[in-house]
Structure 1
Amino acid sequence: MTGEMKHLFTSGLIIMTMLSNAANSNELTIVNPADLFDPTGFGYSQAVVTPSGVRQVYVSGQGGADAAGVLPPDFAQQVDQAFANLNVVLEQSGARPDQVVKLTIYVVDHQPAKLGVVTNAVVSLFGASLPAQTLVPVDRLALPGMLFEVEAIAVVD
């Protein structure tokens, strides 16, 4: 979704439509109601509406291990690697970050201080095309030492 952003203000609802430069009419609509908290500063949108007739890509949870399976002990390093891994899977699936409509993030031993690390990684990959997002604090993940995991849903035009 590259191109211009259009803001529509109707009935107390803020709708940001990302207009594609492509010749087709497939658009993702980002919805952040004016009477709800504005989540964009935290790297997400309240909802993303997909057009009909698009292909969906469901990406399994990506952790912070590198190609050799090595998990760094640092939370921020795992977050950065997980988003790098997510980007590779999206690319290999024929999707782009701006086509991601939903993220689910799992954080071991979640604390508010970790939000900044996650938000920075999300904004770095997605820019202004912030997907809907849920963060789930968990006790542990699939592997010992795994501190972070992100899964995604993308729509491809």
Structure 2
Amino acid sequence: MLTDAPVAPAGLFGFINPSGLYDPTANGYSHVAVIRLPARVIHIAGQGGETADGALSPRFEAQVAQALDNLSLALASAGATLADVAKLTVLVVDHDQDRLGILSDQIGRRWPLGRAPTCTLIPVPRLALEGMLFEIEATAYTG
């Protein structure tokens, strides 16, 4: 959804997808996040697709789902939710259009249309753990 005004401008932050730029909503992100200060800033370190016991699925889709679950748990520990996230950084091993589709679908399930945070996707050759295909870090803001 292209808009030159912040979506949900009454809250702590809003998202803008300016006219004149590519509409990123189908890919699950926004171009601009506007934060109203003062706010509590929460940085979440990169979360991978491993479970609490260290198990890591070989499937990309399963790793993305688990990493997003892990992100939700980390945010909750700081009193935040996915709705408080303004910025994501995503690392994807062997990135391609199929993986982008999986990621976009998973993000679309967790953030309502027009409320997806800003996001930078970085294709990488390898991540920290053997078999790790996906990692996501976040910055969230709460009042």
TM range (shorter): over 0.9
Q: Which runs of 5+ in 2 are unaligned?
A: none
Alignment partner, residue 80 of structure 1: 65
Please give the residue correspondences for 1:107-118 in structure 2 after superposition, counting only pairs within 5 Å: 107-118=92-103
Superposition deviation, residue 72 in structure 1: 0.4
Please give the residue correspondences for 1:1-157 in structure 2 after superposition, counting only pairs within 5 Å: 14-18=4-8, 26-128=11-113, 129-157=115-143
Q: Distance between the aligned counterparts of 1:127 and 1:151, measured in 2?
A: 19
Q: Which amino acid in structure 2 is aligned with residue 67 of structure 1?
A: A
| SS state at 2:68 partner | helix
Kindly, what percent of the aligned residue pairs are identical?
39
Superposition deviation, residue 18 in structure 1: 1.3
* TM-score w.r.t. length of structure 1: 0.85
Q: Distance between the aligned counterparts of 2:7 and 2:111, measured in 1?
A: 15
CA-atom RMSD in angstroms: 1.6
Contact map agreement 1:17 1:27 (CA 8 A) in 2:
no
| SS state at 2:37 partner | coil
Superposition deviation, residue 86 in structure 1: 0.4
* TM-score w.r.t. length of structure 2: 0.94
Bigger radius of gyration: 1
Q: Distance between the aligned counterparts of 1:40 and 1:93, measured in 2?
A: 28
Q: Which runs of 5+ in 1 are unaligned?
A: 1-6, 21-25
Q: Deviations over 1:4-39 (max 9, x none)?
A: xxx9x9xxx62233155xxxxx53121111000010
Larger RCO, structures 1/2 (Cα 8 Å, 6+ apart): 2
Q: Distance between the aligned counterparts of 1:98 and 1:132, measured in 2?
A: 12
Contact map agreement 2:6 2:34 (CA 8 A) in 1:
no
